[in-house]
Structure 1
């Protein structure tokens, strides 16, 4: 979707220019685009007919670069991908659910330490994104502010959920400690 969108919006480009555009737009924040896989993806997409080789360019002593453009089939594919993404409201499974189901395999102390570390990580990410939003604010256009807000809301929800989880684990430990004391008293009587 990223490659097709970049070529649809920016016209024909070679891979290096697409990578540079991705870095300028900070696409790594929004999508899982690996720079090393871009060139293979371009060739594969050309083989599939969603891209076409427009020309080869060479500047000075730099290696020749293949310039790709989006085809009619590629524009149709981009529209399909955009619509599919808009329609997909699947809540992806979170492996943390499995951790909580099988938590008996690790100690309570290890569980609490890991939850605290996760919470701190989400909090640090939230701070990073809040600062990034502030820096980017003067340059944001169109729906970009709302995209930032989506990420901020998701991170705030993770921090809040981890706070609730920490409280629930602490309550459970406290309840277990109370029942252990009651059981010890009953055995002593």
Structure 2
């Protein structure tokens, strides 16, 4: 899936014409880099490429005071079609991404049990930290969440809890000590 394109086209479809700085600010405010792998710094380049492709268009240029001029972009009909296609493709994509841990466990004889246990504990601790981060973020965001956003947050929480459960199962299987 092309997350950056989806973010930009969605922002323009939902919010109307806006300049790149506003789209970037929305990505930073929404923490899109954390949950959608949308890098705010990549948005300007993507807007330029998307304008060249005709999925967004320059609506006008604005300049306030001594600030640099800002180009305001809008979504085109072609862009709306692409947005719908990206959404449909994302909804249809149920492929489970392979986890390299499966190969690691297949070839675990290369490292001893103590090293494996230490690494698995470290991975588990990392997932526990991520769960705490996302749980706190969910609490902080709660007053601002609308529509299906709470359910989107919950998917991340459920996935992290599943990782913790699997790591606990793995630690039991290799022996706690």
Determine the C-alpha separation between the residues in 2 that align with 1:162 and 1:107. 18
Determine the C-alpha separation between the residues in 2 that align with 1:164 and 1:95. 17
Q: Which residue of 1 aligns with 2:150?
A: 145
Structure 2 counterparts to residues 33-112 of structure 1, below 5 A: 33-112=38-117
Q: What is the root-mean-square deviation of aligned Cα atoms in Å? A: 1.4
SS at match of 2:57: strand
Answer yes or no: is 1:158 the counterpart of 2:163: yes
SS at match of 2:175: helix
Look at both structures and tell me which one has the larger radius of gyration over its CA atoms: 1
Structure-1-length-normalised TM-score: 0.86
User: How many pairs are equivalent?
Assistant: 172
Q: Which runs of 4+ in 1 moved over 6 A?
A: none
Question: Which digits, 9 at most, give the CA deviation of each residue in 1:92-127, with x for residues without a partner?
Answer: 111111111122222222211111000001011111
How far the C-alpha of 1:90 sits from its partner, in A, is: 0.5
How far the C-alpha of 1:24 sits from its partner, in A, is: 2.2
Structure-2-length-normalised TM-score: 0.92
Determine the C-alpha separation between the residues in 1 that align with 2:69 and 2:30. 25
Question: Which digits, 9 at most, give the CA deviation of each residue in 1:30-80, with x for residues without a partner?
Answer: 211112211111011111110111111122222221111100000000000
Question: Which digits, 9 at most, give the CA deviation of each residue in 1:113-164, with x for residues without a partner?
Answer: 1110000010111111112222222222111111111111000000000000
- Higher mean alpha-carbon deviation, 2-11 vs 34-43, is at 34-43
Contact 2:27–2:40 under 8 Å retained in 1: no
Unaligned runs of 5+ in 2: 1-5
Determine the C-alpha separation between the residues in 1 that align with 2:41 and 2:31. 16
